[in-house]
Amino acid sequence: MYIQRYFLALCLCLAGFSTTVNAQGPYPIQKTVMAQHGAVVSAHPLASQVGLSILKNGGNAVDAAIAVQLTLAVVFPGAGNIGGGGFMVAHLSKGQNLALDYRECAPGKASRDMYIDSTGKARTDWSQEGHLACGVPGTIAGMFAAHRYGKLPFKDLIQPAIDLAENGFVISANEAESLNENKKSFQQNNTGPIAFVRADRPWKEGDTLVQKELAATLKRIRDNGAKGFYESRTAQYIVEEMQKGGGLISLEDLKQYKAVERPILTFPYKSYTILTMPMPSSGGLLLAQMLKMVENKPAMDSGYASGAATQLMIEAERRAFADRATYMGDPDFVKVPVDALMSAPYLASRMQDFQAGKAGNSKDVKAGVVPHESMETTHFDVIDADGNCVSVTTTLNGWYGCSTVAGKAGFLLNNEMDDFSIKPGVPNMFGAVGGTANAIAPHKRMLSSMTPTIVLKDGKPYLIVGTPGGTTIPTSVFQTIVNITDFHLSPEDAVNKPKFHHQWLPDDVALEKGFSGSTEAALKAMGYTIKHWGGIGRTEVIAIAPDGTLEAVADGRGNDSAAGY
Ligand code: GLY
């Protein structure tokens, strides 16, 4: 009944607004929506629809963002979460900016060498799978911290997620396949039956995924607030599961967890103002460095995917990622020289050895660490009728996190501990070398690349942007912004045109499928090693025209969907 109501509302909302409808899967997907009052774009059509109904029912963009985050925890269990963490960047209509950090942190019993075995080997299997991989979840603390800026009662924001968990939602062929593919990992990493594994047969398209235990967990949050998660039966379930599987999270860790409002990272780029996430995400600072290294450079006039502009951007990406390796970590634990790393003289000196037409070389750059990060994260944007803008990137790290459900609490836990440098000073499985700024310490937050961003033009919201994609997050956000501000692509093209990625180490350029063949040949001739990737990012954008028209664009690479009115 509930599903039918949603489906009907979704179809009604499509009428007249959608420019692209993809009918794959049980729910229609809208790739581009033009709207006047408010818009939402997220990785799942049901989540976008829930956000839209909150806006239409008098909620502001923060309310809608909370409802979307909670709904994604039900309908997008691979990355949507209450067992992980994230970052929210907001620009409120009265001019206030908000950077909310609800990143997971290391448990109190964590230690620097916890993933080194008795032979001295770094065990990425321990940091990526199962109970020991799990950091203290931050999402629910983040949602209550955000709610200070909302208008509607929290119970109204969480109810759609409760209903979808309780009554279930119909899954697509891709979702069924993904759950089936992960079955072995679910079975290995759980100590009891979980909603994501069917005992009778494999999942198939059209099945309904019901999550009764998750619904009960969400009801405890609805009825008891953040304590309903951090100091309740849910907390006991998490800790019992940890004890059964060798994880470290304690009741005290959960009780102590706090979301933190941080001073937003802001800087000018050309005539725009960029608002983005500060540490413990490296994403905002990398974005600042990359944009400032290419700002007003003549090569950028050559346009999207030109050899000259692409090479310049690759070299900016290389240098920014080398700095990430050495300097960046949780600001509550290490002093990150943010101002110095963003200063014009420093960035000019970084690009001094840039040679147009000749590939740079990562061997000549002082080594640090590029920690492995999974591609699996999710991003969403919201804008409301008053012009409040919210940009959120949230993650379990890996797809389905550590594959462990928090016992009878019914939700998947993160494997965010792998975002630390698990063995500082020693090459990791990807050939990157570790530094100390991002070493593990009790209660420390692991370095992230998530880059939720808002771009202002003449002081007014112009773009809301972000993406999943691990270390490709800052480079995808960088490219999406310059695609619009420098290369004058439409928001739809800026999102969907093929992207590229360089992260210092390994010293190669990843080109997304469909990237210009002639530019690839030119890059090879300059001396770059080229790798081919199927997809880079799943970028969501809301562009705001000077007359206030909203263009919400959902990335064509997935089943992401926009909604608006
Ligand atoms: N786990 C992905 C990130 O935080 O960047």
Nearest CA-CA partner of 260 in 243, 239, 281:
281
**Closest atom, ligand 1, to C-alpha of 377:** 2
3-state secondary structure of 512: strand
377 is catalytic: yes
At residue 375, the pLDDT reads: 65
Pocket test for ligand 1, best of 287, 379, 448, 477 (most atoms within 8 A of CB): 448
Residues 6+ apart with CB under 8 A from 196: 77, 179, 182, 186, 209, 400, 405, 412
Out of 32, 217, 377, 378, pick the active-site residue.
377
Closest to 98 (Cα-Cα) out of 481, 458, 392, 462: 392
pLDDT at 425: 57
How many angstroms does the Cα of residue 9 sit away from the middle of ligand 1? Answer: 34
C-alpha distances out from residue 506 to 321, 429, 513, Å: 11, 11, 19
The CATH code for residues 262-376+449-564 is: 3.60.20.40
At 276, list the tokens.
Answer: 């983005």
Residue whose Cα lies nearest atom 1 of ligand 1: it is: 397
Strands 530-533 and 509-512: parallel
Closest ligand 1 atom to the C-alpha of 471?
5
> From atom 4 of ligand 1, which residue's Cα is the shortest distance away?
448
Two structure tokens written together for 22: 């993809």
* d(CA 394, ligand 1 centre) in Å: 8
What's the token pair of residue 60? 């502001």
Q: What distance lies between CA 378 and its chain's CA centroid?
A: 4
Report pLDDT for 423. Answer: 81
- Quote the pLDDT of residue 365: 66
Please list the pLDDT of the chain residue by residue as tens digits (565 residues). 333 344 334 333 333 344 444 445 689 999 999 999 999 999 999 999 999 999 999 999 999 999 999 999 999 999 999 999 999 999 999 999 999 999 999 999 999 999 999 999 999 899 999 999 999 999 999 999 999 999 999 999 999 999 999 999 999 999 999 999 999 999 999 999 999 999 999 999 999 999 999 999 999 999 999 999 999 999 999 999 999 999 999 999 999 999 999 999 999 999 999 999 999 999 999 999 999 999 999 999 999 999 999 999 999 999 999 998 889 999 999 999 999 999 999 999 999 999 999 999 988 765 333 333 446 799 999 999 999 999 999 999 999 999 999 999 999 999 999 999 888 655 443 334 447 899 999 999 999 999 999 999 999 999 999 999 999 999 999 999 999 999 999 999 999 999 999 999 889 999 999 999 999 999 999 999 999 999 999 999 999 999 999 999 999 999 999 999 9
551: Cβ–Cβ under 8 A, 6 or more apart, which residues? 32, 33, 34, 491, 492, 541, 542, 543, 544, 545
Q: How far is Cα 158 from Cα 404, in angstroms, rounded to an integer? A: 23
pLDDT of residue 325: 83
Residue nearest to atom 3 of ligand 1 (CA): 448
Which residues does residue 439 pair with via DSSP β-bridges, in sequence order? 421
In whole angstroms, what is the distance from residue 472 CA to residue 538 CA? Answer: 10
Distance 449 CA to ligand 1 centre (A): 5
Q: Relative to the CA of 283, which ligand 1 atom is closest?
A: 5
Write out residues with Cβ below 6 Å of ligand 1.
Answer: 373-374, 377, 395, 397, 419, 448-450, 470, 473
Residue ranges of the chain assigned to CATH 3.60.20.40: 262-376+449-564
In the numeric block, the tokens 């075995």 are attached to 117
For residue 471, the CA-to-ligand 1 centroid distance in Å is 8
Which amino acid type is present at position 58?
G
Q: Is 564 helix (H, G, I), strand (E, B) or coil?
A: strand
Which among 23, 46, 64 is positioned nearest to 464, based on CA atoms? 64
The predicted pLDDT at position 35 comes to 98
484 CA from centroid of ligand 1 (Å): 25
Q: Which two tokens stand for residue 28?
A: 């229609």
> In angstroms, what is the span from residue 23 Cα to ligand 1's centroid?
31
Query: Residue 15 has what pLDDT?
Result: 32
The pLDDT value recorded for residue 103 is 98
Closest CA to 92 of 44, 54, 35, 149: 149
H/E segment holding residue 563: strand 561-564
